[in-house]
Amino acid sequence: MFLHVSQAGRSRSATIVTAYLMKKHHLTFTEAYRRLKKLQQVPKDIFANDPALSSSSEVSYRCRKCRRTLFRSSSILSHPVGDGASAFSHKKSSNLSGEVQCTSYFIEPVQWMEQALLGVMNGQLLCPKCGSKLGSFSWCGDQCSCGRWVTPAFQLHHNRVDEIRQLNTTK
């Protein structure tokens, strides 16, 4: 069963799924709710580990405002550069030489995004520490500044995050 909840919240969707399980499988409320609670843990597997909770020599990206670690370079999803001029030109960005540039990072979902993503198809991505807007997400996809369509899109803007490279201090 696929349930799409548009801005309704998790409590209503849980009610609908519980009622569906009761009707379809002739379950009591308690048994249907127990099965739903078991399923509730499933989405956590699709999220990458929270980079703020781990230590790594990998390049990390932090909120420009509060410096909270948001994701690592291994979470960045690469995509081929779009068609440039023939792509949606009103959203396309290019440098002075006319070369098309990407102005956002498209990443895999990270644990701190979980509450924002569940139950909605699109929305803003806010820093979990300071609440500043970092970008947006859309399960249906979004267009990169280079013109390429990326699906699903978890987009963080370059000008909202800082790239942090770990220096090797051993000789």
pLDDT digits (tens, 9 = 90+) for 105-154: 999 998 898 888 888 899 999 999 999 999 999 999 999 988 888 889 99
**CA–CA dist 83, 87 (Å, integer):** 5
Residue 127's Cα: distance from chain center in Å?
12
* Average pLDDT estimate for 72-77: 90
Q: Which residue ranges does the chain devote to CATH 2.170.150?
A: 60-82+102-164
- CB count within 10 Å of CB 149 equals 14
**Which conformational region is residue 26 in: left (phi greater than 0), alpha (psi within -120 to 50 degrees), or beta?**
left
Q: What share of the chain is helix, strand, coil (3-state, %, to 5)?
A: 30, 25, 45
* Average pLDDT estimate for 51-59: 62
The answer to whether the Cα torsion of 41, 47, 53, 55 is positive or negative is positive
pLDDT band at 36 (very low <50, low <70, confident <90, very high): confident
Q: Is 29 within 8 Å of 89 (Cβ atoms)?
A: no
Domain 60-82+102-164 listed as CATH 2.60.40: no
The answer to whether the Cα torsion of 162, 165, 166, 168 is positive or negative is negative
Q: Give the amino acid at 145.
A: S
**CA–CA dist 36, 63 (Å, integer):** 35
- CB count within 10 Å of CB 44 equals 9
71 against 38, higher pLDDT: 71
Q: Is the pTM of this model over 0.75?
A: no
